[in-house]
């Protein structure tokens, strides 16, 4: 009812209505969707198809990643195509490509296998849903950062702008670290080191054009992707080893 009602309301009450709808969805899920006379849903009774669930999560992630590219494209198309804006747009595309690479290597490829191997598949499936939510929220901030960088590539940044450009990738990396733990029972050092590097650079970046921040994000994320490739090179594919 809240979703449908919000669709017919102006912007501000729609946001309120849909925020309430999201809250109801998540609270109800955590409480087991209690229904009078039927009781609560128990994860121990859920029947989870690992490959189907993994495919859905991957689709959610890819849709969000595709939206980041659309936002960057719309922002670039809305103004002049000078060198600074073109560079910012190119950095946005490079960032999206590297984000995709980090996601799929290798946990994103074998989530279905991890769910099938888990002692409690439903618990792992629900945990992975929360993890993907964190990564998608990070991608949302990334998209906002793209728009800001393309529109103001040489401008003096505000603190909130840096929060989007740096905070989005950092949040994605934290979510991806948890995702890696869910699939393999470990976390690569490159994830949290990269996140710390991004956050440590914030005081300097507040005094630099947004292009500098965008370039740093590409460099740091590329370092993570290269570390993943180096770890996998010359070794058999790592099997899933979920801790749940």
CB atoms within 10 A of CB 227: 18
Please say whether the beta carbons of 221 and 229 come within 8 A.
Answer: no
Contact 112, 51 (CB under 8 A): yes
Tell me: pLDDT of 47 over 90.
no
Asked if residue 244 has pLDDT above 80, the reply is: no
How big is the chain by its Cα radius of gyration, in Å?
20
| pLDDT band at residue 105 under the 50/70/90 scheme | confident
Q: What is the pLDDT of residues 188-209, one digit of tens each?
A: 999 999 999 999 999 999 999 9
Burial of 22 (0-12, 13-18, 19+ CB in 10 A): exposed
User: Mean of the per-residue pLDDT values for the chain?
Assistant: 93
């Amino acid at each position: 009812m809240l979703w449908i009602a919000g669709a017919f309301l102006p912007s501000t009450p729609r946001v309120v209505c849909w925020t309430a709808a999201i809250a109801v969805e998540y609270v109800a899920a955590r409480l087991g969707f209690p229904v009078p006379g039927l009781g609560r849903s128990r994860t121990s009774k859920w029947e989870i198809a690992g490959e189907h669930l993994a495919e859905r999560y991957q689709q959610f992630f890819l849709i969000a990643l595709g939206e980041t590219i659309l936002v960057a494209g719309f922002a670039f198309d809305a103004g002049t195509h000078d060198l600074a804006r073109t560079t910012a747009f190119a950095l946005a595309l490079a960032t999206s490509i590297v984000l995709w690479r980090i996601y799929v290597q290798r946990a994103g490829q074998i989530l279905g296998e991890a769910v099938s191997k888990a002692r409690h598949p439903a618990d792992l499936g629900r945990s992975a849903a929360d993890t993907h939510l964190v990564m998608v929220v990070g991608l949302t901030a990334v998209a906002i950062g793209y728009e800001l960088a393309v529109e103001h590539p040489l401008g003096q940044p505000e603190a909130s702008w840096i929060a989007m450009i740096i905070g989005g990738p950092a949040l994605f990396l934290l979510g991806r670290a948890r995702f890696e733990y869910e699939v393999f029972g470990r976390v690569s050092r490159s994830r949290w080191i990269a996140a710390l590097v991004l956050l440590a650079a914030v005081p300097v970046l507040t005094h630099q054009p947004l292009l500098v921040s965008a370039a740093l994000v590409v460099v740091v994320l590329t370092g993570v992707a290269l570390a993943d490739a180096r770890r996998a090179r010359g070794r058999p594919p790592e099997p899933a080893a979920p801790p749940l």
